[in-house]
Amino acid sequence: MSALKRVLGLLWIVLGPAAMLFMFLEACDKVALAPVGVDKTNTILQWGIILFIFIPICTGLVIFGLYSLKGEYTKLPESSEEL
């Protein structure tokens, strides 16, 4: 089980930046395809909000993967006194 957690940690570390890159490229593509004017402004605002929300989530995914890779989740506390 510990090996699986470490492998999944590597997966999260790779998946976080890959998701950020994919979303950024998709945002650039959608903004470039939007017609000039209010539609382009709305598209920029929409993708700005999407990136603003998902970049911290992807960062957290990388941090979670790093902790998993280091083995921080091999022994979980069984009671609140162990915290």
Q: Is the pTM of this model over 0.75?
A: yes
The Cα-based distances of 26 to 8, 17, 53, 77 in angstroms read 26, 14, 15, 41
Place of tokens 């976080």: 16
CA dihedral 66, 9, 21, 23 (to 10 degrees): -110
CA distance 74 to 12: 17
Angle subtended at Cα 41 by Cα 57 and Cα 34, rounded to the nearest 5 degrees: 90
Q: pLDDT tens digits for the chain (83 residues)?
A: 788 889 999 999 999 999 999 999 999 999 999 999 999 999 999 999 999 999 999 999 999 999 999 988 888 778 888 77
